[in-house]
């Protein structure tokens, strides 16, 4: 078995070696660009890790890993257009650099590139791989749609929010795990358990992101602390407070009367009053427990699960 760091290196090498057509260069340059911006390659690493639970040849899962990473980056390109985002991983976004139309089209062709990677898997698992991937891709699109719609709505429930982050973020982690398992040779039960592991981990991860936005250590957290508060983002913390607050209290959540520091301060005070951090942590821990339960139920040798538990630890202890 490889360590996650080793798998990341295998992936970086494989990503660099992907050959895209040279022409038209403005269609393919944005793909090379976004794929080279890096990140932790968490999703394709998960594919390879899951495969290695069932096979010694993780290279069998490399095409699926590249499909997942390409698909993920495709969603970033299109999401950044929709969100009108100027930066991605600290660099200028594709649509800012090449224009919106070009970004739409490069994104589209990335979807085709994903499918090309997928089509290379062994014929014995091809159908199952396609079904899992398509279900995953569809879920991610649905999640993005709900996320956009929630921005316009004032009545989003906690249940709806969890469903949105499940679709937008968590099904891709679940899908990555399941695809790795399938290509590695897992049976249906184990593949489904790994899906559950990934999905619940994904929900927990997003809830932790909501918490860290407010309570994170500014030196460790990659983004601006309080960013969600400034943009009135309907996070778990925001929605839970809306549900618990009395009278006019909740007004500060969406107020534009304060300056930024004052608003972060006001809203954090309100969160503290209703112990929102603790409630969000409890919610997150529920999903974490479910994820670990699926891992326990998995019919593979316990020592093989160690890396997965460490991965959970690593992700969840970003700053608590």
Interface ranges with a copy of itself (CB under 8 A): 21, 23-24, 26-27, 78, 81-82, 101-102, 104-105, 107-109, 111-113, 115-116, 118-119, 123, 126-127, 130-131, 133-134, 137-138, 141-142, 144-146, 148-149
What are the tokens at 235? 């996070």
- Closest distance between a copy of itself and the C-beta of residue 21, in Å? 7
Nearest to a copy of itself of 112, 158 (CB atom): 112
Nearest to a copy of itself of 164, 193 (CB atom): 164
Nearest to a copy of itself of 119, 254 (CB atom): 119
What are the tokens at 109? 């062709």
Q: What is the helix (H) or strand (E) element at residue 10, kind and residue range?
A: helix 4-17
Distances (CA, A) of 167 to 73, 173, 209: 16, 10, 16
Quote the CA–CA distance of 201 and 97 in Å, as a whole number.
34
Q: Exposed (0-12), middle (13-18) or buried (19+): which is 154, by Cβ within 10 Å?
A: exposed
Look at the alpha carbons of 2, 175, 317, 11 in this order and tell me if their dihedral is positive or negative.
positive
The candidate with the shortest Cα–Cα distance to 61, out of 43, 35, 36, 39, is 43
- Closest distance between a copy of itself and the C-beta of residue 176, in Å? 16
Nearest to a copy of itself of 142, 265 (CB atom): 142
Nearest to a copy of itself of 15, 81 (CB atom): 81
- Closest distance between a copy of itself and the C-beta of residue 52, in Å? 25
- Closest distance between a copy of itself and the C-beta of residue 134, in Å? 5
- Closest distance between a copy of itself and the C-beta of residue 26, in Å? 6
Return the bridge partners of 92, or none. 87
């Amino acid at each position: 078995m490889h360590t996650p760091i080793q798998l990341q290196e295998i992936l970086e090498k494989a990503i660099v070696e992907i050959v895209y057509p040279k022409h038209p260069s403005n269609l393919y340059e944005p793909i090379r660009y976004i794929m080279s911006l890096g990140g932790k390659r968490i999703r394709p690493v998960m594919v390879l890790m899951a495969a290695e639970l069932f096979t010694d040849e993780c290279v069998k899962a490399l095409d699926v890993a590249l499909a997942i990473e390409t698909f993920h980056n495709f969603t970033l390109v299109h999401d950044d257009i929709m969100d009108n985002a100027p930066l991605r991983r600290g660099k200028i976004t594709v649509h800012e650099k090449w224009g919106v139309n070009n970004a739409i089209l490069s994104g589209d062709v990335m979807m085709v590139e994903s499918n090309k990677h997928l089509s290379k898997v062994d014929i014995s698992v091809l159908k199952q791989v396609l079904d899992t991937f398509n279900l995953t891709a569809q879920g991610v699109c649905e999640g993005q749609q709900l996320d956009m719609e929630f921005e316009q709505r004032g009545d989003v429930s906690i249940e709806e929010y969890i469903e949105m982050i499940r679709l937008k973020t968590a099904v891709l982690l679940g899908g990555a795990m399941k695809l790795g398992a399938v290509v590695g040779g897992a049976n249906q039960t184990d593949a489904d358990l790994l899906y559950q592991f990934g999905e619940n981990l994904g929900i927990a991860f997003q809830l932790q992101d909501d918490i860290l936005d407010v309570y994170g250590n500014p030196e460790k957290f990659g983004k601006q602390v309080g960013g969600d508060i400034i943009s009135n983002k309907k996070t778990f913390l925001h929605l839970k407070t809306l549900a618990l607050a009395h009278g006019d209290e909740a007004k500060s959540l969406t107020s534009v009367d304060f300056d930024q520091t004052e608003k972060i301060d006001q809203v954090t005070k309100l969160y503290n009053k209703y112990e929102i951090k603790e409630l969000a942590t409890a919610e997150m821990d529920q999903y974490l427990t479910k994820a670990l339960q699926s891992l326990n139920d998995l019919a593979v040798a316990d020592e093989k699960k160690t890396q997965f538990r460490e991965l959970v630890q690593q992700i969840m202890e970003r700053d608590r």
